Amino acid sequence: MHTFIGLYQDIGPALSLLVLVTFLLAGAVKGVIGLGLPTIAMGLLGLGLPPAQAAALLIVPSTVTNVWQLSTGGHLRPLLRRLSGLLSMIFVGTCLGSLWLGIDSGPWAVHGLGAALVVYALYGLIGPQLRVTPRHERWLGPLCGLTTGVVTAATGVFVMPAVPYLQSLGLNRDELVQALGLSFTVSTLALAVGLAGQDALGGQALGASLLMLAPALLGMIAGQWLRQRISPVLFKRCFFIGLAVLGAHLLFNG
């Protein structure tokens, strides 16, 4: 409670409400389609908070929900072997990107976040279904991991290009959901290391992030319930359109 009061005093009632609603919504989106918590959270929080502060709030909810996601499915060991290049370079790229760029590197980072959201949304709406052959995974996985890490360090969003890459591997539904959880967990932990190196992840920031776990989990449970009652195709379409609008706002007005 003391941490929430401190957060409330620091950012005011309007932004405090934005933070709570954001994590409810982001958790619900993740519950429905298996991803979107960091993307939604960074996009909406970027409307009122500096990128480093927004990313710090993301650490605990993202880590817990992603560990929950990767722990189910029964494919963890083979996925770890297959995705080792991607995962290791995500970590390396995020840490190096934090030293080189830093998530609080200036106004351009907000515009970069907007661009990443627009690209991802357009890919989700109209992008072709790509297929990566096994012989290309050895070099393409690490390359996508390194690029994802740099984008994560600069914007706090770790979907591009890791998500399109994972979707191109021909994984079944359970494998894909578990692979996404695995990739996002590594990205979140690497982001935490990068933020700590920038002195942006102290005890107060972690306490505030811990408080966001409750609305994120509540939203995720609601999203899982909703997933059984609506068309995933329709929901994804609405999700990507909303994401494109939000990204365009940050790109041009951030």
- Residue 216 pLDDT more than 80? yes
Q: Phi first, then psi: give them for residue 198, nearest 5 degrees.
A: -95, 10
The answer to whether the CB of 103 falls within 8 A of the CB of 150 is no
The DSSP code for 105 is S
Residue 102: per-residue pLDDT: 65
Asked whether residue 238 carries a pLDDT value surpassing 70, the answer given is: yes
How many domains, the chain? 1
pLDDT the model gives residue 16: 80
Q: What is the domain range of residue 200?
A: 2-253
Is the pLDDT assigned to residue 119 strictly greater than 90? Answer: no
- 1-38 tens-digit pLDDT: 445 556 555 656 778 888 899 999 999 988 887 777 88
Give the contacts of 206 (CB within 8 A, at least 6 positions apart).
56, 59, 60
- Put simply, whether the predicted model's pTM sits higher than 0.95 gets the answer no
Can the peptide bond before residue 161 be classed as cis, meaning omega within 30 degrees of 0? Answer: yes
pLDDT, residue 1, reads 46
Q: Give dist(CA 111, CA 118) in Å, integer.
A: 11
Question: How confident is the model over 128-179, as pLDDT tens digits?
Answer: 777 898 889 999 999 999 999 998 888 777 888 898 899 899 888 778 889 9
Between 180 and 127, the more confident residue is 180
Q: What are the CB-based long-range contacts (under 8 Å, 24+) for 221-228?
A: 221/27, 221/31, 222/24, 222/27, 222/28, 222/31, 223/27, 223/28, 223/29, 223/30, 223/31, 223/32, 224/31, 224/32, 225/31, 226/28, 226/31, 226/32, 227/31, 227/32, 227/33
- Tell me the C-alpha distance between 88 and 177, whole Å: 19
Q: How far apart are CA 95 and CA 111, in angstroms?
A: 21
In this prediction, residue 249 carries a pLDDT of 77
